[in-house]
Structure 1
Amino acid sequence: MGRIRVLHSLESVSSGGVEQRRLSLARHLDPQIYEQQLICTKAIKSLPTQFEEAGCKITEVGAFRSILDLPRYKSALRVIREFRPHIIHGAVFEGVAMSAIAGTLGRVPVIIGEETSNPINRSWRGNFIYKGITALTHHMVAVSPAVEIYLTEKIGLARDKVSVIPNGVSEKKRPSVESTINLRIKLGLTEKDFVIGTVGRLFDRSKRVSDIIKAMPLIVQNTSNAKLLVVGTGPDEPQLRELAKSLGLTDKILFVGYQSDTRQFYELMDVFVLASAHEAFGLVLVEAMFSRLPVVATRVGGIPKVVVDGETAFLCDPFSPSQIADKVIPFFKSAALRKTFGDAGKERARKYFSENRYVTDVSQLYQKLLNVNKVQD
């Protein structure tokens, strides 16, 4: 066999964590062994250029009108017939559907799906469709043990058909002191401010940034110099801004919008908070740990397997602003506690959630499945 041809399939390529993991594969799977391409419904922002620079061609097939949108599958099938992949690897609902259906029609030897969310609120109809889709795959990847439980117990897949491969994150270089000082000045922050930070899409049904905002009055009672730094944008930003205003917190909360480089913003934070109602993994938690930040997060989905309660983070129940405040305040009171948790978090991130470990795990799965299915060129 020559190089192993891998076709990735995604719903879209923009700036999300799923796309970043595929970019890790495009950049770091050995090019002497693998040749990669990607199909998606649409490609926006800067990542498509980065894929091309990594030698991974992207083909857009157009947005799905329904899960049975035949023209989309025909477009995907054309790419399969031209590229002739040994493996098709889909992620996100539409990506898994393209992988399973177009991969089956195109007789791709190894069909892989990857569940990157923790779809506890997926409708019975959605679960029914997903069960049919995943039946066409040879193997499914779960990004956390919580997702593995969903796939085996809710969808009914055999345990030997599912592998847990936790996400891996690239450890970015620490920004210069000068750039950090300049950003702090630009945002109107001072050295005395105690900065609570959160990063993510402002979709409050799942991310619950509103709970962090509601925790702020309780935190401010203990420290008048507390500030909340919200990095990200989304459909619920206007409502969140209005909530901050109604609580008299306009001068305490900074909405800085979408940032292509979040590393410099982590540098401004004293503690990182993720208040999700459900979360398959929580990539931003690893980013925060790589930035040596202590964490406060909700005890949902894959989060308890990413952080360690009482060592790298304090966990709390979802939908509980008072608990968020209770867990944040000890970090305000003790710089030593922040350092202890931050150091432990960085060590854990490097040990379990590195980009290199992720790429190695995926490569080993590819090799295993090719051998099991006796794939030849």
Structure 2
Amino acid sequence: ESYDIIHGFSRTYFQDIYRIGGGCHAGYLRRTYAWAATPWGRAFTALNPRHRAIISLERKRFDRKNYKRLTAISELAKNEIVGEFDVPPEDITVIYNAVDADRFSPERLRPLRGKTRERLGLAREDIALLFVGTGWRRKGLRGLVDAVAALKNPKLKLVVVGGGDRSTIADASKVLESVIFAGYSAHVEEFYASADIFALPSLHDAFGTVALEAMASSLPVVCSRLAGASEIMTDGEDSLLVDDPRDVKALASKIGILLDESKRAEMGKRARKTAERYSYEKNYERTMDVYEQVLRMKGMTGNARR
């Protein structure tokens, strides 16, 4: 069967367009595991069959013979691929992720707040700091738990939605009574409704759509600059950004600013306005622009939007 365009989203060798949705494997290892950046760590990565196979597949995928155009979900992801595989920057178009602004509208979420907070055991005066994600080491949950401990505020409760390895935070027993593990949920909007602050302290994250969902929900966001989502944010306006999420003091300081209810409200309103700019319609239009570039490269005429 013949196709006008093949658009790859997973670990495939050949396609006309490949969407870079997660950076590169070597970058993930270096940022998530300190040992991976050491000489012996690089040697281990090169010799380990699994790591070697993944990196070899990436190298083949990003050979110019095997694609016509690339898209990336952030400048961070783009720059990582350019640096790791010598891909010409002009081959990559950045198209940020989109959000369903209606699903996460404050008006729609407001009726869910009281019931969800009651189910979580949150008191009326509690300040709920929300974390959503799996792969807790890469997402920086340990640093967030330590930041909550450093603030020593009994009203501050960390709500963790998603699954992960609890051994990464098992020795943080001093603060675990302030952590609520909510598990997996298909109705994440309920948790945005229940929250007062959202945090994405990732060590390596090509984007982090949960931060955009939180912003659409009018939540103030504390975000790591190592997450691509930070590129759509303005520090001190619609979010608070942390250069190094492993810096517990800096992370705690940013969260501490948002213990003030009026600051949360102001920043949350601005966050919502920012999120409204990242619609699925705009994402679609930018993707169709890339499709039309590829059609021209293949000598084909027609409108990709037909």
Normalising by structure 1, report the TM-score.
0.67
- Look up the match of 1:326: 253
Give distance in 2, aligned partners of 1:160 and 1:241.
42
User: Is the partner of 2:157 in helix, strand or coil?
Assistant: strand
Matched, 1:134 2:67: no
1:128 Cα deviation from its structure 2 partner: 4.6
- Look up the match of 1:356: 281
Normalising by structure 2, report the TM-score.
0.82
Amino acid at match of 2:267: F
1:85 Cα deviation from its structure 2 partner: 2.1
Matched, 1:255 2:255: no
Matched, 1:85 2:3: yes
Give distance in 1, aligned partners of 2:201 and 2:146.
11
User: Is the partner of 2:258 in helix, strand or coil?
Assistant: helix
1:208 Cα deviation from its structure 2 partner: 1.5
- Look up the match of 2:142: 210
User: Is the partner of 1:267 in helix, strand or coil?
Assistant: helix
- Look up the match of 2:94: 164
- Look up the match of 1:371: 296
Q: Return 5+ residue gaps in structure 1 as ranges.
A: 1-80, 104-110
Q: How many residues align?
A: 273
- Look up the match of 2:238: 312
1:153 Cα deviation from its structure 2 partner: 2.8
Matched, 1:113 2:38: no
Q: 8 Å contact 1:210–1:243 — kept in the other structure?
A: no
Q: 8 Å contact 1:281–1:306 — kept in the other structure?
A: no
Q: 8 Å contact 2:137–2:168 — kept in the other structure?
A: no
Moved more, 224-233 or 166-175: 166-175
Q: What percentage of aligned pairs have identical amino acids?
A: 25
Q: Give CA deviations for 1:138-180 in whole Å, capped at 9, x if unaligned.
A: 1111111122212323211223321111111222154454432
Give distance in 2, aligned partners of 1:251 and 1:183.
19
1:341 Cα deviation from its structure 2 partner: 1.3
Give distance in 1, aligned partners of 2:22 and 2:117.
34
Match of 2:162 among 232, 242, 245: 232
1:242 Cα deviation from its structure 2 partner: 2.8
Distance 1:159 1:251, change over 3 A: closer
- Look up the match of 1:341: 267
Give distance in 2, aligned partners of 1:177 and 1:133.
45
Larger strand fraction of residues: 1
Match of 1:242 among 170, 181, 184: 170
Distance 1:205 1:186, change over 3 A: closer
Q: 8 Å contact 1:118–1:301 — kept in the other structure?
A: no
Q: 8 Å contact 2:104–2:216 — kept in the other structure?
A: no
Q: 8 Å contact 2:142–2:169 — kept in the other structure?
A: no
Give distance in 1, aligned partners of 2:238 and 2:261.
14
Distance 1:133 1:269, change over 3 A: same
1:328 Cα deviation from its structure 2 partner: 0.6
CA RMSD of aligned residues (A): 2.1
Give distance in 1, aligned partners of 2:230 and 2:180.
28
- Look up the match of 2:197: 271
- Look up the match of 1:197: 130
Give distance in 2, aligned partners of 1:299 and 1:159.
21
